[in-house]
Structure 1
């Protein structure tokens, strides 16, 4: 048996109803929150990377991470002593349509660990089939695993609420995948990521019981959630359930505000991918805006409708919260409290979104004219392809007494700077004059404003082409770029002059390359 010194304190699989069927067969699971399942053994596991921060968070050190026990546990070859791994049962709306039972089809929860009064669920993604795998194999491949591992940690350091990642490993097994769903499957290297979060509960965990009119288990699960993750709300009651929903809406709102701030597009905002803790969860076909574009989606499956495009993420969050409200309604029996919470989300989002834009522009005062200023900026950013990350970072160097130099300051953010002439140049120059006038009302000197702007406008984000370069190198057995990007993205707001090559627009070769422009859900 392994000797990892983890303080295991399981609650989910001890306090909630289990699936009585122990066979690992695909089926509809009724009146249960999870099914017990053992990870699939891998043929030749190899650890590629471990997050030193998450290692410390769960109470382990680098020596333990280098042990055979760590390798075996976090690649599925060994089960932690006195634990019972399980897959969660949930449902969901996918692309706006009710999909029924979904569940952890390729995720297996190993255990809950408590360290320094923080609770962490350790979950393997890609560790084999579960009763919820449907027609899939429950496995994951290297490319999607690298993306999930790097992005989880990158988002955390950007200040975005997110699940985390502990480890990335190869399994030594080959996995068949049709990357673009075009009838050309190929074998890829299998991999496993250990994901970590206080809980992986999703909106869909509650939806499934409501859809089946299983109010008993809906109440059991909701009470469990409040007891462990919202204890400040008090003992279960109608008022507590309403307060619970209200706080979920608030956390979700803050998460979306952060997404919009850094230009992150999730790509698959189905209700089964929405965390009840307001965390970014399930990194599939995500992406960061290269050119600022409200209509961009990174998901090939969503290319036609663009339901989950950048500009629609706030609306999709509200739509998903409406589904959660429907799921929790049986516990309250009254619609107005939920309607009030949803209305508050809309009102608060407008206010918080404007405040977020003020922070990106270095504005501390609240002026009524800021709405028009930010609206004109967003329009201008779409006049010609303009890199969002680079634009806002360069804007910090703008001098409020030199409006005429505005375009020169942000020149490197334009993909085709030769297009910035005539009417486009006029609109930009007009905006810089208004921006300079607005800054004159602020008391902060330019240098202090720059410091504040650089604290909310990242210099480095995990662009798809960067992740793709790391994936291609890893596929050839070179894992140095994974570590380089992991280290770089730990300090996304720092200048890091030695890493300046990553502060650059997407290269032309990546514009339409698979994995760099759009991605499928295949993993």
Structure 2
């Protein structure tokens, strides 16, 4: 059997990627006006002559949002689109994307937070634009960029261990890809931007509470050095959104918000699963070839074993990602296959949490009654998800490749079966117990500040009163997580949690 099916081997691979986790860290240093964009026929938009995404301006930052080139051209040319138009919920077949316009937020809009590093460093925009009405409209879905054809992605997934069928972008719209002046390509996506064909029973909105958490944690993880999607802005409205936060029958009115988030690609394990389950083999192969060509340059597209090589890289990078989660005490909370990126970056921040003190059974998600996604189970869950990825690849593998995937003696399997493997693990554990680092070195690899649940909750409560000062303070603090900061110390961000935070919970409701 292939090594990835050996749970102990995969868990070891995660551990082998984990360089150092500070032993004996105590809780004080623990690792938590409505504007329509008008109507344009699909035919007019499909025949639009797409312009280059590349920003050729000689200015340091773009001074006109109308010149900001973002396009889904590459995806539209690569894949067949859903033949049915409209945002009504339906079963979608034989495509990767549906065309779907965002639904503008109602009421006056307010900028809750913005990342200067993302806006200027990745998108080449002048941060001053974030204070304009144009910025609020374009990056909340109220107005579309010239020639833009927003897409929503069809995918499926295993949720809490069971196949959930068609899922997809139920409240997210892909604006398109932007190529920065430095040559980096980023896919821009709005989250909370309205109903899509994949909304199921949802309203397509995201509330302020969950949007603050996603914005802050996306950026916090980046500065911790953990592979992650990025967050550019948080735009808040007065539109009422009704939620039963803890699924106990208590429905309350909250406010709608939209996060502009970026990733090199939003494809996930569930992107392949839904095609394999539906028997859409040609489309499965086309998507795999596209992902490999665009995102895995080290894989030779002419290699007959390219899908196996791709799989092995995803295995390795997923183990590395989970190890990095563990190194900062991060529990994702909903490690479903539809939330696991094929690029092995952290995406879809929901009921996540950071441990206050060491507890391998820590479960941040109050909806996870059985503790499936506890922090100590993340390596095993990663193994489960990768097994589902391999199942999705089986239709495009030859019988020999399939046999090889399950029986070949890969390097990890060789390592785990080596006669000295057990002795090595024992010696390594003993060395960790003896290893004493200099205080400065320990501090350089163990963050003083992480986004603890109570810190996010404190900022959310103020934001609900239109006070975003603590969101800004947390954003600043978490951009330098290893550096002691006076304002953060005054706020108690490195101290034990305050008494009022006892019993705080988060859930999948967002």
TM-score, normalized by the shorter chain, greater than 0.5: yes
Report the alpha carbon displacement of residue 284 of structure 1 after superposing the two structures with TM. Answer: 0.4
Report the alpha carbon displacement of residue 342 of structure 1 after superposing the two structures with TM. Answer: 11
Provide the residue aligned with 2:68 in structure 1: 6
Q: Report 1:125-164 matches (<5 A).
A: 125-164=191-230
**TM-score normalised to structure 1 length:** 0.79
Deviations 1:261-318 (A, max 9, x none): 0000000000000000000010000000112111111111213x11100110001001
Q: Report 1:91-130 matches (<5 A).
A: 91-115=156-180, 116-130=182-196
Q: What CA distance in whole angstroms lies between the structure 1 residues aligned with 2:390 and 2:263? A: 23
Provide the residue aligned with 1:284 in structure 2: 350
Mapped pair 1:48 → 2:112: yes
Report the alpha carbon displacement of residue 466 of structure 1 after superposing the two structures with TM. Answer: 0.2
1:247 alignment partner, one of 309, 313, 325: 313
Q: Secondary structure at the match of 2:254?
A: strand
Unaligned regions of 5+ residues in structure 2, if any?
Answer: 1-36, 38-63
Provide the residue aligned with 1:476 in structure 2: 465
Closer, same or farther in 2 for the Cα pair 1:225/1:46, shift >3 Å? same
Higher RCO (C-alpha 8 Å, min separation 6): 2
Q: What CA distance in whole angstroms lies between the structure 1 residues aligned with 2:409 and 2:168? A: 26
Provide the residue aligned with 1:521 in structure 2: 508
Q: Secondary structure at the match of 1:99?
A: strand
Q: What CA distance in whole angstroms lies between the structure 2 residues aligned with 1:450 and 1:120? A: 38
Deviations 1:438-490 (A, max 9, x none): 54xxxxxx6xx333222221110000000000000000110000000000000
Provide the residue aligned with 1:369 in structure 2: 427
Closer, same or farther in 2 for the Cα pair 1:476/1:301, shift >3 Å? same
Where has structure 1 moved over 4 Å in runs of 4 or more?
Answer: 340-351
Q: Report 1:192-203 matches (<5 A).
A: 192-203=258-269
Unaligned regions of 5+ residues in structure 1, if any?
Answer: 355-365, 375-433, 440-445
Provide the residue aligned with 2:327 in structure 1: 261
Closer, same or farther in 2 for the Cα pair 1:231/1:254, shift >3 Å? same
Confirm or deny: 8 A CA contact 1:4 1:64 kept in the other structure: no
**TM-score normalised to structure 2 length:** 0.81
Closer, same or farther in 2 for the Cα pair 1:367/1:315, shift >3 Å? closer
Provide the residue aligned with 2:93 in structure 1: 30
Provide the residue aligned with 1:272 in structure 2: 338
Q: Secondary structure at the match of 1:227?
A: helix
Closer, same or farther in 2 for the Cα pair 1:343/1:289, shift >3 Å? farther
Closer, same or farther in 2 for the Cα pair 1:483/1:350, shift >3 Å? farther
Q: What CA distance in whole angstroms lies between the structure 2 residues aligned with 1:370 and 1:466? A: 36
Confirm or deny: 8 A CA contact 1:55 1:166 kept in the other structure: yes
Provide the residue aligned with 1:315 in structure 2: 380
* Residues paired across the two proteins, number: 436
Report the alpha carbon displacement of residue 136 of structure 1 after superposing the two structures with TM. Answer: 0.5
1:78 alignment partner, one of 135, 138, 143: 143
Q: CA RMSD in A?
A: 2.3
Report the alpha carbon displacement of residue 12 of structure 1 after superposing the two structures with TM. Answer: 2.1
Confirm or deny: 8 A CA contact 1:264 1:288 kept in the other structure: yes
Provide the residue aligned with 2:499 in structure 1: 508
Report the alpha carbon displacement of residue 346 of structure 1 after superposing the two structures with TM. Answer: 7.9
Moved more, 497-506 or 282-291: 497-506
Provide the residue aligned with 1:62 in structure 2: 127
Report the alpha carbon displacement of residue 63 of structure 1 after superposing the two structures with TM. Answer: 2.2
Closer, same or farther in 2 for the Cα pair 1:344/1:268, shift >3 Å? farther
Report the alpha carbon displacement of residue 200 of structure 1 after superposing the two structures with TM. Answer: 0.7
Q: What CA distance in whole angstroms lies between the structure 2 residues aligned with 1:40 and 1:119? A: 26
Q: What CA distance in whole angstroms lies between the structure 1 residues aligned with 2:353 and 2:411? A: 29
Confirm or deny: 8 A CA contact 1:242 1:337 kept in the other structure: no
Report the alpha carbon displacement of residue 48 of structure 1 after superposing the two structures with TM. Answer: 1.4
Moved more, 212-221 or 332-341: 332-341
Structure that is richer in helix per residue: 1
Report the alpha carbon displacement of residue 14 of structure 1 after superposing the two structures with TM. Answer: 2.9
Q: What CA distance in whole angstroms lies between the structure 2 residues aligned with 1:350 and 1:52? A: 49
Report the alpha carbon displacement of residue 328 of structure 1 after superposing the two structures with TM. Answer: 1.0
Report the alpha carbon displacement of residue 347 of structure 1 after superposing the two structures with TM. Answer: 8.3
Q: Secondary structure at the match of 2:298?
A: helix
Q: What CA distance in whole angstroms lies between the structure 2 residues aligned with 1:349 and 1:462? A: 36
Provide the residue aligned with 2:7 in structure 1: none
Confirm or deny: 8 A CA contact 1:263 1:288 kept in the other structure: yes
Q: What CA distance in whole angstroms lies between the structure 1 residues aligned with 2:242 and 2:409? A: 43
